[in-house]
Amino acid sequence: MSNGTTGIDEARTALGKRLRELRVAAELSGKELAESLSWVGSKVSKIENGRQTPTDNDIKDWARATRSEDQTASLLTALHNLELQHAEWQRVLKSGLKTHQLTLSKTDERTKFYRGFESTIIPGLTQTPEYARARFAQAVMVHRIPNDINEAVKARMQRQEMLYRPDKRFHFVITEAALRYRLAGRDIMIGQLDRLMAMTSMRNVKLGVIDFKTQYVTDPRHGFWVYDDHLVRFESYSAEINLRQPQEIELYTGIFEHLAAVASYGTEARAIIGRVMRELADEADDAGS
């Protein structure tokens, strides 16, 4: 199975090929170009072979050195499209967590059908404020970004208002592991599971849970979201990945259908959530005694 980054790799390779063509047309060797720009020799090769993403300044310097300034705008557009696909967190979050939530709201406005699978965390659109706060605190710690957690939590809760809009549909599938991972304190987890319990009865929300005893058809490799039929998005530690190629969307849509087909819904889903809630409550009672 594809790892989902095919389109990104192709775009980076295509940009590198264009840059190599400009260098060759200018009758410069890779070493000569690197020396003219005061770069280490390997940088030209890495960019041309798609192993390193150039910066805006790299593109401008390359165009100037190869006497192809007329190509600068087109090359920068190709680079920025690549950056939209592979959006590094350090760049995405530099203006704060709240700003990113507001950016996600723009996608929310035009999306009618959400399909989301999560294997390790509770989906953002179903999170309680307390659970969301814990998730944002991790982002602040890992990426060393400005702490605007209060504003980010408020923005996420505002995004959740669309769960009640009749013109939108939501299909969430989560694993039992996501219910059990202690990504927040025990009381916060109990509150979060109670929230999920209530969501199993919402009119335009379909919530499935895959328990530990279920036989998988496709492995739960990582969480991902399918927005209508135009976008697939998932997160790595370093970046937000946005896929728009039809074959990638078709791939992830098929994987989602496999995972959704083995999930439990309604009464059965509530039984799984309830079992985890009882175990957490019993744990709390044992600790208290």
pTM for this structure? Answer: 0.77
For the chain, the C-alpha Rg in angstroms (whole number) is 23
pLDDT score at 7: 66
Asked whether 22 and 63 are in contact (CB, 8 A), the reply is yes
Pairwise CA distance, residues 242 & 206, whole Å: 24
Query: Any residues with CB less than 8 A from the CB of 64 and at least 6 apart, and which?
Result: none
The one-letter amino acid at 133: R
pLDDT score at 289: 59
pLDDT score at 11: 81
pLDDT tens string, the chain, 289 residues long: the values are 344 455 677 788 889 999 999 999 999 999 999 999 999 989 999 999 988 889 899 999 999 999 999 999 989 888 877 777 878 888 889 889 999 999 899 889 899 999 999 999 999 999 999 999 999 999 999 999 999 999 999 999 999 999 999 999 999 999 999 999 999 999 999 999 999 999 999 999 999 999 999 999 999 999 999 999 999 999 989 888 888 888 889 999 999 999 999 999 999 999 999 999 999 999 877 776 5
Instruction: Tell me the residue ranges of DSSP E strands in the chain.
Output: 86-88, 113-118, 169-175, 205-210, 224-227, 231-235, 239-243
Pairwise CA distance, residues 100 & 159, whole Å: 12
* Residues found in the chain: 289
Tokens 């044992």 correspond to 286
pLDDT score at 65: 95
| DSSP β-bridge partners for residue 243 | 232
The one-letter amino acid at 253: T
Q: At what angle do helices 97-110 and 149-159 cross, to 10 degrees?
A: 10
pLDDT score at 1: 38
Q: How many distinct helices (H) and strands (E) make up the chain?
A: 13, 7
Pairwise CA distance, residues 111 & 229, whole Å: 9
| DSSP β-bridge partners for residue 88 | 239
Asked whether 114 and 169 are in contact (CB, 8 A), the reply is yes
